[in-house]
Structure 1
């Protein structure tokens, strides 16, 4: 049941992002053709909606991979960076 709810949430967010791109596409053409201010505002809102949906999906994948330990720290040119272990000094 949990997996079904997670898939439904992801599907809804994906559809919202797609609808945002569709709003942008339709209303930017109308704005260029007719020059109405409302078409320009709706196209910007569609672009924001698409960005927010895409950011949510990217964040979901990032945190899922982070939780499962699939991310590694990379340095210059994608080379793995070794983590230095801090040694504990004991003073006597």
Structure 2
């Protein structure tokens, strides 16, 4: 049940981001064709909606990978950075 709720939430956010891109696409064309200010405002709101949905999905994936230990710290030119270990005290 828990996984189902997570999938539904992710699907809803994905659809919201897609609708934001669709709003942006449609209203930019209308704004260029007719020059109404309302179309410009709605296109900006659609772009913000798409950005927020995409940021949420990216944050979800990042948090999940961090929780599972799949992230690796990278150094210069993508090389893995080894952790410096402190000497053991006996």
Using structure 1 for the length normalisation, give the TM-score: 0.92
2:6 is the alignment partner of 1:18: no
Point out the structure with max Rg over C-alpha. Answer: 1
CA shift digits 1:11-69 (9 cap, x unpaired): 00000000000000000000000000000000000000000000000000000000000
* Aligned match of 2:72: 72
Query: Could you say what the CA RMSD is over the residues aligned between the two structures, in angstroms?
Result: 1.2
Using structure 2 for the length normalisation, give the TM-score: 0.95
Q: Counterparts of 1:21-60 in structure 2 under 5 Å?
A: 21-60=21-60
Query: Matched residue pairs, number?
Result: 89
Alpha-carbon distance, 1:88 to partner = 7.6
Which consecutive unaligned segments of at least 5 residues does structure 1 have? none
CA–CA distance in structure 2, aligned partners of residues 86 and 73 of structure 1: 19
